[in-house]
Amino acid sequence: MLMDRLVSRIIELQSPIVVGLDPRLSQVPGFIKEAVFADKGKTPAAVADIFYRFNKEIIDHIYDLVPAVKPQIALYEQLGIPGIDCYLKTIEYAKSKGLLVIGDVKRGDIASTAEAYSHGHIGMVDIEGTSHTIFNEDFITVNPYMGHDSVEPYLADCKNYGKGIFVLVKTSNPGSRDIQDMLVTDKKTAEAFPIYHHVGKLVSEWGNQLIGKHGFSAVGAVVGATHPEEGKVLRENMPHTFFLVPGYGAQGGTAKDLQGMFNKDRLGIIVNSSRGITGAFQMGAYSSYGEANFAEASRAAVLDMKKDLMS
Q: Per-residue pLDDT tens for 163-181?
A: 999 999 998 888 888 888 8
> Which residue among the candidates 106, 213, 256, 307 is catalytic per the annotation?
106
- pLDDT bin (cut points 50, 70, 90) of residue 248 is confident
Q: Is 106 a catalytic residue?
A: yes
| Cβ atoms 136, 103 nearer than 8 A | no
| Single-letter amino acid code for the residue at 158 | C
Q: How long is the chain?
A: 311
What's the mean pLDDT in 299-307? 96
CATH of 2-310, one of 3.30.1240.10, 3.30.1330.20, 3.20.20.70, 3.40.720.10: 3.20.20.70
d(CA 210, CA 101) in angstroms, rounded, equals: 19
Quick check: 200 pLDDT over 80?
Answer: yes
Residue 251: its pLDDT value, please? 66
Rounded CA-CA distance 6/186 in Å is 36
What pLDDT is stored for residue 212 in this prediction?
A: 95
Which band of pLDDT confidence, cut at 50, 70 and 90, is reported for residue 100? very high
Q: Across 128-163, where does the E strand assignment appear? A: 130-132, 139-142
Residues 17-30 pLDDT 10s? 999 999 999 999 99
Mean pLDDT, the chain, rounded, equals 94
Over residues 77-91, the mean pLDDT reads 98
Half-sphere CA count of 157, side-chain side, radius 13 A: 25
